[in-house]
Amino acid sequence: MTTTQIYSGPLSMFGAKVQIAAYEKGITFELTMVPFTTDDAYEPKHPEVLRVNPVKQQVPVLVDDEVALFDSTQIFEYLEDRYPQPALWPEGIADRARARQLEQKSDEVFFPNVIKLFGLQDAMQSAPAVAACAACARFYEEMEGLLATREYLAGPYSFADIAFYMAHVFADRKGAGMTRATPRLVAWRERVGARPAVRAVVDPMMRFLASQGRGVPAFLQR
């Protein structure tokens, strides 16, 4: 029997999304953490990553028999089709579309602001840092509004929650964490963060950060 292979990295937000989804679905998989250097580079490149994702040369990568995929969203869609239960998208067509949009916004609207903060921890009062933090705060307010009538972002717990939870972990690390201004969102963070599948991925990531002498978000210090 072929074992599903997932290639990730110790500080890969996108790899963490895939790992959490696989754990939530109870999938048996073999995890390979690719080499990581102290300057946040994944070197040397793993040969399977180069084979499957030769242009971007990035994790995550999934290899499952004849299927070889890169990109966290594409990998998740495959896992959702291959292992439909427990479902990590809502049932209705419209609800699934909204959930997919939320996941996409987490990756492509929210997270680019976090990326802007990389390397600015000693210049958080600079104009670029202030603008990026303000953009994150606006996104938090939007998510706070969604949670006025539901416990999770798309209704039932879904991949949208996994994506935004991990994006927020990195935002907090870079100085753009949640505040008391969004109490429903903070409570959502506690619900998602308490899930065994989430802890199985996030706890080792935080231990890796600590081992490197890097800061661990206060809400994840155990």
φ, ψ for residue 16, nearest 5 deg: -60, -40
DSSP states of the chain as a string?
Answer: -PPEEEEE-TT-HHHHHHHHHHHHTT--EEEEEPP--TTS---SPPHHHHHHSTTT--S-EEEETTEEEESHHHHHHHHHHHS-SS-SS-SSHHHHHHHHHHHHHIIIIIHHHHHHHTT-TT-TTSHHHHHHHHHHHHHHHHHHHHTTS-SBTTBSS-HHHHHHHHHHHHHHHTT----TT-HHHHHHHHHHHTSHHHHHHHHHHHHHHHHTT----GGG--
* pLDDT at 66 (0 to 100): 94
Those residues of the chain that have pLDDT short of 50 are: none
Indicate the domain borders of the chain.
4-82, 93-198
Contact 112, 167 (CB under 8 A): no
* pLDDT at 38 (0 to 100): 62
Q: Do domains 4-82 and 93-198 have the same CATH topology?
A: no
**Reported CATH class of domain 4-82:** alpha beta
Q: Kindly give the interhelix angle for 13-24 and 159-173, rounded to the nearest 10 degrees.
A: 140
The single residue listed with the structure tokens 């499957």 is 52
* pLDDT at 122 (0 to 100): 81
- The fold for domain 93-198 equals Glutathione S-transferase Yfyf (Class Pi); Chain A, domain 2 (1.20.1050)
* pLDDT at 36 (0 to 100): 73
Give the predicted TM-score (pTM) of the model.
0.95
